[in-house]
Structure 1
Amino acid sequence: MGNTYRRVLLKLSGEALMGDLSYGIDPAVVDAICAEIKDVVNTGVEVAVVVGGGNIFRGIKGAAAGMDRATADYIGMIATVMNAMTLQDSLERKGVQTRVLTAIEMQEVAEPYIRRRAIRHLEKGRVVIFGAGSGNPFFTTDTTAALRAAEISAEVVFKATKVDGIYDADPKVNPDARRFQTLTYSYALEKDLRVMDGTAIALCKDNNIPIMVFNLAVEGNIRRALMGEPIGTLVGGSCGIS
């Protein structure tokens, strides 16, 4: 199958890096994810990644425990940089040139985020990993993924999750829950389907960037998704509800 996309953004949750652990990073899981990213890069697709930090620290939970929300979010941003550097290490051990760009300046360990620099890295075939969220508290890494996708002119946002798409109910609770193959942005927002937070979906809607939600746990799914195979659920402006 030929390449369907030229430039894509892959959104990974911090929890995706945990595997079966209750906290932290499972190196075997990271290596498996990075092996699939390498396969995609080798086909000529330009890949950018936004990674969360929930496996280390989640700002909203810190705030719920009594921390100042902005402070908690900044700590969560730093956690995403730890994950970004872990992904970078795994990719570079596989021979994939990788750059971490952070929204909070950390010049000893990563480059500051500059849009034109990020695009240039992608054009040179490097994987670009965006760390530290958007650099602003009160915004999720889902919103960061939508924002960076728009800034770098990515053709699609791939949201890697623990389920195989978007359902009309929780499939773990309701065995009769129906999985959607395609959805409109408006329907996802109206029904609050939690594919991404509302700000992220609205950003993708405004910039006409489709969102593909797929199951990260199935081996080979990153490559299948980025090659355009119909796995998961596609959310877009021209999509019907099916």
Structure 2
Amino acid sequence: MPESVPVRCPACRRAHRYTAPSYPCACGAPVTPPLDPDAVPVPVGHRAWREEWVTVRCGRCGCDGEWPRPELGCPCGTVLRIPVTGPRTSAPAAPAAPPGRPAFRSVPIRTVRDAVTAAVLYLRRLGHEDIHRADRHPPAGIGLAGRGVLAQVDPSARPATLRDVECLWLTAMTESARCLYFSLAGYAEDARARADALGVPLFLLDLAGVPQPVNGPADALDALGPDGGA
């Protein structure tokens, strides 16, 4: 059962009850960040990518995963970072699911951070466990990288452009990696045509946080896993 702790906002003194979210491990088991009931929540000021994640060990397969650090938004406008204990094993889950990739478990998209989390979850479902912020900044959105893969998450309200797709492909070529593009607003027609020609999988992130394939390379990758887009 997910952990729950009382939280009091230090800005307005309003009392809350926070329940830790569960995330799907690559094996399909739910993992939950370990909350520290004795620590005091801290308002979020300056954000740093490395501080946005917490390590949790899966109780079923024993793998360590990086998941979003728990946060609570108070109605007064203060965002509180909920303290967690050190990395530990998540509660054991039910027996293993049938063979094959686990079903994708989405997170509703309300913020840019949610969009990035949805992309990370999808990449992990494809077998990329070491996803982190890319060293190179893309011309639009947020870059993610892992061993042999680059991804771009575009949370803007404009469709991704031809230049966006080509820049991602060129960067992936220089690093000998495959690439994927995730967009909230879709793609311009010429961007989709160019992605088809280059073999770049394009995904549309709906507000439920489920990446929807919108071209042939994305359909192949979604259906067959990492080897399907080769």
TM-score (ref. length: structure 2): 0.29
Compare the two structures and name the one with the higher strand fraction: 2
Higher Cα radius of gyration: 2
Compare the two structures and name the one with the higher helix fraction: 1
TM-score (ref. length: structure 1): 0.28
